[in-house]
């Protein structure tokens, strides 16, 4: 894995602040992960945009690229850092205009990636798995850059067009059965890499929520209404409405975003909540609008665990607290307890593999500082001796892990370390 410790002075100042609160060992890990993302995954383009690889996969995911640069927002008043993040936003929205149904893109029209899938792909597209969160993250990043650095230059005509396309796409997918032309079939690979019914997905009924083909893990949804992703869409639309109103002066766009946000929230609260025999009322992970619910949580964000982090509800919200108790228990089929750690994994990785992303999220949504610090320490001791985070590690043997180079996980560790040091991304 390539790496160098050379980073801008503004990021070195962050390291010093982490060291003052957390000590040298945490600070060294923090700077190593920060530097790895800064120096090995970000590539400035001649057009001023920034291409971001995930680490060991040479493609740009809309989701991962936003999450990878999020900790840099705490130093985004620095021109070099702010310019780089703005470049990410600009490239993300160019991709959205290219195809709002794609989740990952190539650096150029080189035809790399999954070109054999049965869907409307093209040479710019690495993968065309439709995921709601892929359209949330670019809006969120553009908004947070404004709130943390005071920048508004990212809100150009491409941004405005992109937000309109996102709203139109989510409205189409409210009526997936009736209105959507999206299909996805992959004839090779795992069953979770393709959609049932010749690429249409499992049957759904109207709820007001918007449909998603795939989860943020890139696995197919069991049921089409992915509740945490719909919650993220509510928040992203609120951001879009605020930007349209306060920056763009576009009342029509603001109203369109706000109206859809209201419909999605109503759909979640009416059709995404169910009764558990032990825990009581809680958010389901997925619903089909026909009476079926999938009770679980996945490590990938958006997740049910991440709802306060996303801004959908407060960490003390009673419904969230009930849901949190469920997802951090053995009743969640992807919660694993072992000799080295306990935490949430994913059907995307083998059984008994816990994800550092989920441990970081547990810390960042914790109601008390002790749990937050405990999660930070757990991440420090389960890196398999590599000095970096991974996709997942075995609950009994952390030296067994998937993806040795996974920038999103590294940066989630960094964000938790910042929070434990009293430094947070302004919302």
* Weakest mean pLDDT among 3-17, 37-51, 176-190, 298-312: 3-17
Question: How far, in Å, CA of 159 to CA of 166, rounded?
Answer: 10
Residues 6 or more apart whose Cβ sits within 8 Å of residue 321? none
Residue 95 has pLDDT above 60, yes or no: yes
Task: Write out the DSSP string of 403-417.
Answer: -S-BHHHHHHHHHHH
Phi, psi (deg, nearest 5) at residue 267: -65, -40
Question: How far, in Å, CA of 258 to CA of 14, rounded?
Answer: 36
Return the residue matching tokens 């390291």. 15
Question: How far, in Å, CA of 389 to CA of 34, rounded?
Answer: 11
Residue 68 has pLDDT above 60, yes or no: yes
Segment 162-187 mean pLDDT? 98
Angle, CA 27 vertex, CA 49 and CA 400 arms, to 5°: 85
Residues 6 or more apart whose Cβ sits within 8 Å of residue 278? 331
Residue 3 has pLDDT above 80, yes or no: no
- Give kind and range of the element (H or E) at residue 325: helix 318-327
CB atoms within 10 A of CB 214: 26
Residue 302 has pLDDT above 90, yes or no: yes
Question: How far, in Å, CA of 245 to CA of 103, rounded?
Answer: 28
Rounded to whole angstroms, what are the CA distances from 293 to 58, 87, 271, 336, 390? 36, 40, 9, 21, 30
Residue 213 has pLDDT above 90, yes or no: yes
User: What's the order of all strands across the beta sheet hosting 353-354?
Assistant: 353-354, 392-394, 401-402
Question: How far, in Å, CA of 398 to CA of 401, rounded?
Answer: 6
Residue 2 has pLDDT above 50, yes or no: no
Residue 1 has pLDDT above 60, yes or no: no
- 189 band by pLDDT with thresholds 50, 70 and 90: confident
Answer yes or no: are the C-beta atoms of 319 and 308 closer than 8 Å: no
Strands (E), 58-113: 60-61, 104-105
Question: How far, in Å, CA of 221 to CA of 225, rounded?
Answer: 8
- 6 band by pLDDT with thresholds 50, 70 and 90: confident
Phi, psi (deg, nearest 5) at residue 206: -65, 135
Return the residue matching tokens 């619903």. 287
Segment 196-220 mean pLDDT? 98
Position 156 scores a pLDDT of 98
Please, what is the average pLDDT of the chain? 97
As a whole number of angstroms, the longest Cα–Cα distance in the chain is 57
Provide, for the chain, the percentages of residues in helix, strand and coil under a 3-state DSSP scheme, each rounded to the nearest 5. 50, 10, 40
Position 5 scores a pLDDT of 67
Residue 268 has pLDDT above 80, yes or no: yes
- Give kind and range of the element (H or E) at residue 226: strand 225-226
Segment 46-61 mean pLDDT? 95
Answer yes or no: are the C-beta atoms of 151 and 241 closer than 8 Å: no
Q: Per the confidence metrics, is the pTM higher than 0.85?
A: yes
HEC profile for 345-381? CCCCCCCCEECHHHHHHHHHCCCCHHHHHHHHHHHHH
Task: Write out the DSSP string of 9-38.
Answer: HHHHHHHHHHHHHH-HHHHHHHHHHHHHHH
pLDDT in tens, 372-387: 999 999 999 999 999 9
Answer yes or no: are the C-beta atoms of 170 and 260 closer than 8 Å: yes
Environment class of 148 (CB within 10 Å of its CB; exposed 0-12, middle 13-18, buried 19+): buried
Residue 4 has pLDDT above 90, yes or no: no
Classified as helix, coil or strand, 82 is helix
Question: How far, in Å, CA of 334 to CA of 133, rounded?
Answer: 21
Answer yes or no: are the C-beta atoms of 264 and 237 closer than 8 Å: yes
Phi, psi (deg, nearest 5) at residue 19: -65, -35
Question: How far, in Å, CA of 380 to CA of 131, rounded?
Answer: 31
pLDDT in tens, 20-53: 999 999 999 999 999 999 999 999 999 999 999 9
Question: How far, in Å, CA of 116 to CA of 98, rounded?
Answer: 19
Rounded to whole angstroms, what are the CA distances from 215 to 219, 223, 229, 245? 5, 10, 8, 31
Domains and CATH numbers, the chain: 41-333 (1.50.10.10)
Question: How far, in Å, CA of 372 to CA of 374, rounded?
Answer: 5
């Amino acid at each position: 894995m390539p790496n160098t410790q050379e980073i801008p002075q503004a990021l070195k100042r962050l390291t010093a602040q982490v060291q003052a609160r957390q000590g040298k060992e945490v600070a060294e890990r923090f700077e190593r992960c920060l530097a790895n993302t800064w120096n090995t995954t970000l590539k400035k383009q001649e057009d001023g945009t920034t291409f971001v690889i995930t680490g060991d996969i040479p493609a740009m995911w809309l989701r991962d690229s936003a999450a990878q640069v999020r900790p840099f927002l705490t130093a985004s008043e620095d021109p070099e850092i702010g310019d780089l993040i703005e470049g990410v936003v600009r490239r993300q929205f160019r991709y959205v205009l290219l195809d709002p149904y794609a989740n990952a893109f190539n650096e150029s029209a080189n035809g790399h990636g999954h070109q054999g899938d049965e869907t409307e792909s093209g040479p710019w597209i690495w993968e065309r798995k439709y995921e709601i969160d892929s359209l949330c993250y670019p809006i969120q990043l553009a908004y947070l850059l404004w709130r943390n650095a005071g920048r508004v230059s990212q809100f150009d005509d491409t941004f405005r067009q992109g937000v309109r396309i996102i709203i139109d796409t989510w409205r189409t997918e409210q009526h997936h059965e009736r209105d959507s032309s999206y299909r996805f079939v992959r004839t090779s690979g795992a069953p979770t890499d393709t959609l049932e019914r010749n690429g249409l997905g499992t049957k759904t009924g109207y709820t007001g929520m918007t449909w998603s083909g795939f989860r943020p893990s890139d696995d197919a949804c069991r049921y089409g209404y992915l509740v945490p992703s719909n919650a993220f869409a509510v928040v992203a639309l609120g951001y879009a409405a605020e930007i349209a109103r306060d920056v763009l002066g576009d009342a029509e766009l603001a109203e369109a975003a706000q109206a859809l946000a209201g419909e999605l929230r109503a759909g979640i609260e009416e059709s995404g909540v169910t009764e558990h025999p032990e825990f009581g009322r809680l958010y389901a992970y997925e619903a089909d609008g026909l009476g079926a619910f999938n009770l679980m949580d996945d490590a990938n964000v958006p997740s049910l665990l991440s709802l306060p982090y996303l801004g959908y509800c407060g960490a003390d919200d009673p419904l969230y607290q009930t849901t949190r108790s469920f997802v951090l228990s053995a009743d969640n089929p992807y919660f694993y307890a072992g000799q080295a750690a306990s935490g949430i994994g994913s059907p995307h990785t083998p059984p008994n593999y816990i994800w550092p992303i989920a441990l970081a999220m547990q810390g960042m949504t914790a109601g008390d500082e002790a749990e937050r610090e405990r999660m930070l320490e757990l991440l420090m001791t389960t890196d398999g001796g590599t000095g970096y985070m991974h996709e997942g590690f075995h609950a009994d043997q952390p030296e067994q892990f998937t993806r040795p180079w996974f920038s999103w996980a590294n940066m989630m560790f960094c964000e938790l370390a910042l929070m434990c040091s009293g430094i947070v991304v302004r919302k």
